[in-house]
Structures are given as C-alpha cells and as structure tokens.
Amino acid sequence: MLTLCLDTSHKYLSVSIIKDQRILASYDELCFKKQSESVFPVILKVVQDAKIKKEEIDSVCISIGPGSYTGLRIALTIAKVMCSMKRLDLYVISTLKLYANNMKNTYVMLDARGNRIYHALYDQGKVIIEEHVTTIDELNLDRSYHLVGDASLLGLEDQYECISECFLNTKADWEKVDSIHTLIPSYLKSDQEYIKS
C-alpha cells in the first residue's frame, strides 16, 4: 500500500508518502494561511523525494477534523477529487486522534478561537473522552497525562508530534471511506448552529 497522507486541518501543512510501515518522504511545517498555495508544490516535492511516480499512489489518508474550516476543505477537496477520479482508496482519521499519535493517556487541545478549544483524550488510540468543543475554563486536566496541541492557551509551550509520524503510528485507526462523494469534514459545528451565531 502506497499512501499519500495529508493534514491541512490546523496550523501545519503535513504531506507524506507512506509505504506499508515506512515513511518514504515527508514534509511537516507550520503554515499559516498559505496551505492552499503551498500544498501542491509540497506534494510534488514529496512525491519526488519518495522516488515514486504519482501513478503508483493507491490510497490517500487525510485528517478529517475538527480544525480550521478552510483548512479542512483543502485536503478533503484534493482527496475526494483524487480518489473518485482515480478510484483510489480513501482513509480518514480524526485530527485530534492523529495528533495524539497513539500515545498513552494523551489529551489533545486545539485552538477553536473565541476562547474555545477542540478537545479529546485518548489512550493508545482508544477514545477516553470523545472529541468535542469546550472552553479553556472548563478543562480539568490530569497533570500526569500527556498534553498535545495548543498548550500555549494554558500558558505552557505548544506541543506537537511530527504529523507524518503520527500518520504512520495511527495507521490501525485509519477509517476507510465507503462513499467518497458524500464525505464531509467533521466541523463539530453544524450549518444550523453556524447560521444562528
């Protein structure tokens, strides 16, 4: 299996080619607001670094959210178009679960703006607290656990694992998508709510 992995759901642009249990080539950089311009030049470079032809890619895996709405649509649009037209397998993983990197007792918190965060707790891929939107004030963290994401919101240092490695380490949790055309990101905020606010 030769998989193109993409994460554009938050602050990073992560592109990697994973063959079975190995990363052939990868790119992981902070990328503020420039993901849509950068993503293809980066894909081109990563495919070249992996010494493969793009025609050999047989599957795509993306993070499906929650995260930045605009960002989520970048990887999703690429994946939907690519997999439907070339008949490739499409896999998704929750952005929070991806970032938890299959580690033991790991909280993930991502800035959802307006003093809110996307939050979840995992234990080696097992969901302990489901992903949800909450406020920082409502957090009650066990200090002995790992904390991944925008920890600076708590006055700590931001903590991120290498996202390409996260894709590799969470491979058992990738979910295969049956209906590519109808796939939508997990925004954690419905159209209806969006309109009311």
Partner 1 sequence: MSVYILALETSCDETACSVIKDGKEVLSNIVSSQINIHSQFGGVIPEVASRIHVENISLVIQEALEKAEVTMDEVAGIAVTVGPGLIGSLHVGVMAAKTIAWLYDKPLIPIHHIVGHIYANKIVDDIQFPLLSLVVSGGHSELVFMKDDWSFKVLGTTQDDAVGEAYDKVARLLHLPYPGGPQIDRLAKQGKPHYTLKTPKTEGAYDFSFSGLKSSVLQLMERLKKQKEEIVEADIAYSFQEVALNMLVDKTMLAVEQYKPKHVVLAGGVAANSRLRSLITEKMESYPNVKLTIPPLSCCTDNAAMIGVSGYMAYQKGLFADLSIGANPWIDIESS
Backbone region of residue 132 per phi and psi (left: phi > 0; alpha: psi in -120 to 50; beta: other values)? beta
Residue 56-95 contact track with partner 1, rule CB under 8 A, x = bound = -------------xx--xx-xxx-xxx-xxx---------
Instruction: For residue 145, count other CB atoms closer than 10 A to its CB.
Output: 16
Residue among 95, 92, 123 at smallest CA distance from 107: 123
Residue among 57, 59, 31, 30 at smallest CA distance from 44: 57
CB of 71 to partner 1, least distance (A): 10
Q: Say which amino acid occupies 154.
A: L
Residue among 28, 9, 163 at smallest CA distance from 73: 9
Residue 102-141 contact track with partner 1, rule CB under 8 A, x = bound = ----------------------------------------
The DSSP call for residue 132 is E
- Give the number of residues in contact with partner 1, rule: CB under 8 A: 31
CB of 132 to partner 1, least distance (A): 20
Q: Which is nearer to partner 1, 10 or 73 (CB)?
A: 73
Residue 28-47 contact track with partner 1, rule CB under 8 A, x = bound = --------xxxxxx-xx---
Cα-Cα-Cα-Cα dihedral sign, residues 91, 30, 24, 103 = negative
Q: Which residues contact 129 (CB under 8 A, 6 or more apart)?
A: 119, 120, 121
Residue 175-194 contact track with partner 1, rule CB under 8 A, x = bound = -----xxx-xx-x---x--x
Q: Which is nearer to partner 1, 113 or 181 (CB)?
A: 181
Q: Where on the chain is the footprint of partner 1 (CB under 8 A)?
A: 36-41, 43-44, 54, 69-70, 73-74, 76-78, 80-82, 84-86, 180-182, 184-185, 187, 191, 194-195
